[in-house]
Structure 1
Amino acid sequence: MGSATTQALAASAEALTTATVTLDTARELFAAARAAGGSAALSGALADQSADPAARQALVGRVFGALSPEALNLLGTIAAQRWSSADDLVDGIETLAIRAVAKADQAGVEGELFQVIRIIAENPELELSLGSRLGEPSKKSELLEKILGSSVSAGTLLIAGSIAEQPRGRRVRAALQDAIQVVAAQRGRGVATVHTATALTDAQRQRLADSLSRTYGTAVSINEVIDRSIVGGIRVQIADDVIDGSISTRLTDLRSRLAG
């Protein structure tokens, strides 16, 4: 990610703090991301650093004039920024849409998205269908809605379905994992994925969350994965950091030392 994109993402997130958004606003932003992602000419024009920012904002008005004032204002902010590439601009619109879902009081979205990832991982045929380039993109979101039903919130369905419709070369599970981080960032939290051989007790989960919060200086949510292969102990991943205290890793290290 280039420095221009980093600054543009920060400016877009800042614009969201003073905006009044709903799930409908987020839905419009996702639609704008699909439109820009599906047109190299449009995304290129919106990300053209040689064009005057006011001209790029005017283009937003011409192309997306039917959207709500809130969505138009946010898209105008995005268009006024300097982006390292047209692809980064499309990513920026999607990121802002995900943040809008988080701001629209959709409690529990991080945990629900994590469950969606687990459902996809445990169903190879579903993952194959979502990753296929064949068929109508809208059918993918309809498939997820049919499978998930009322077990997740409307915000989670919106994020998961929108990503499935426009993965842009990404694996859906990886894109959903990124979405979890965006939702957590919008709420000023971190997210840790914890692999453990047996389920943590509530007390253990709270102690781990408290410890990670002290270490990283921010509140941390725990997503738990039961993984019998690690034998015992836990493996924690938070952002790019991995803390591996699993017995299986210790045994592997021991075997390596003995073999060496």
Structure 2
Amino acid sequence: MGSATAQALVASSSALNAAQGITLEAAGELFSAMRLIGDSSALSGALADSAAPADARAALVSRVFSGASAPVQELVKTAVAQRWSSAADLVDGVEELAVRATAIAAPDVDIEGELFSVTRLVADNADLELALGSRLGDGDGKAALVQKLVGTRLNPATTLIVTSLVSRPRERRVRRLLSRAMRIVSAQRDRIVATVSTAAPLTAEQRTRLGDVLAGRYGRRIALNEVIDPSVVGGLRVQVADDVIDGSIAARLADLRQKLAG
């Protein structure tokens, strides 16, 4: 990510946090704006052209997105007023705003956990991942496929994110899209995601205790995603971003074998 894009994201996110009346409908409008901008190289190029007067870009937003609500129009105007490293970064930026807006609109929904469950569903089904990642097929058809698979298991907020992303993957792998969305939601809620691999499901007390320990270590609230993995044997394997804490019996046995072999 270029420094210009990083600054543009900060400014756009700040505008979103200051905005009033961010609903799930507004988040949907932002996803629609992302699709419209991303589907037209001419439009994305014009909106991301920092050499063009800001007033001209704002006027273009007013014309193209005249049907959007006032808060959404203002957010898109704020986004295009920034300097982005590329037109593709602008599209990514509007997509991030849409995900953040969804998190704002549904503060009590475990969006990260539900996104993680969809990620596991895709990871466990090679045919599904192939179908969603294929360049063939209609984006709306892929969204409908996911909608059919998850049914009513997901909250509408999570469903909005998942269907919006798979309909316009822009040559990105589905699991990468969902993982990015999880990170964005966690960042919006000022917490980080920890993936916990364990041989048996954690009890509520164990989850609470582990969350407290990790929060103390990282200085942030923790969103726990649990993976049942028999190969862990016992103990836990915790991953937070690139940091891995492996306290499993399998890891200790592997370490012992390595020491004996040396």
Alignment TM-score, normalising by the size of structure 2: 0.94
Give structure 2 stretches of 5+ with no counterpart: none
Shift of residue 242 of structure 1?
1.9
Give 3-state SS (helix, strand or coil) of 2:192's partner.
strand
Q: 1:217 aligns with which of 219, 224, 238?
A: 219
- Residue pairs, 1:167-178, within 5 angstroms: 167-178=169-180
Cα distance between partner residues in 2 of 1:213 and 1:253: 27
Residues of 2 paired with 1:7 and 1:232: CA distance?
Answer: 44
Residue number in structure 2 paired with 1:39: 40
Q: CA 1:258/1:169 → structure 2, altered by over 3 Å: closer, same or farther? A: farther
Query: Shift of the alpha carbon at 1:3?
Result: 1.1
Partner Cα separation in structure 1 for residue 4 and residue 251 of structure 2 = 40
User: Aligned-pair distance for 1:121?
Assistant: 1.6
CA drift at 1:247: 2.6
Q: Equivalent residue of 2:244, what SS?
A: strand
Give the deviation of 1:89 after TM superposition: 0.8
Distance change in 2, residues 1:203/1:51 (3 Å):
same
Partner residue of 2:95? 94
Residues 1:196 and 2:198 aligned together: yes
> How far apart in 2 are the matches of 1:108 and 1:124?
26
* Correspondence for 2:237: 235
Q: C-alpha displacement at 1:251, in angstroms? A: 2.9
| Shift of residue 215, structure 1, vs aligned partner | 1.4
Corresponding position: 1:53 with 2:51: no
Q: Quote the offset at 1:55 in angstroms.
A: 2.0
Q: 58-67 or 205-214, which moves further after superposition? A: 58-67
SS in 2 for 1:232: coil
Identity %: 56
Question: Cα offset for 1:53?
Answer: 2.2
Superposition pairs of residues 152-167 of structure 1, within 5 angstroms: 152-167=154-169
Structure 1: state its 5+ residue gaps: none
Deviation (angstroms), 1:38: 1.4
SS in 1 for 2:258: helix
Over aligned residue pairs, what C-alpha RMSD do you find?
1.4
Partners of 2:70 and 2:106 in 1: how far apart? 20
Task: Please give the alpha-carbon distance, in whole angstroms, between the structure 1 residues aligned to 2:5 and 2:172.
Answer: 19
| Greater shift in the superposed pair: 22-31 or 35-44 | 35-44
1:72 equivalent in structure 2? 73
Residues 4 and 85 of structure 2 are in contact (CA less than 8 Å); yes or no, is this contact kept in structure 1? yes
Query: SS where residue 83 of structure 1 aligns?
Result: coil
1:121 correspondence with 2:134: no
Relative to 1, partners in 2 of residues 1:257 and 1:87: Cα closer, same or farther, differing over 3 Å? Answer: farther
Q: Could you say which residue in structure 2 is the equivalent of 1:184? A: 186
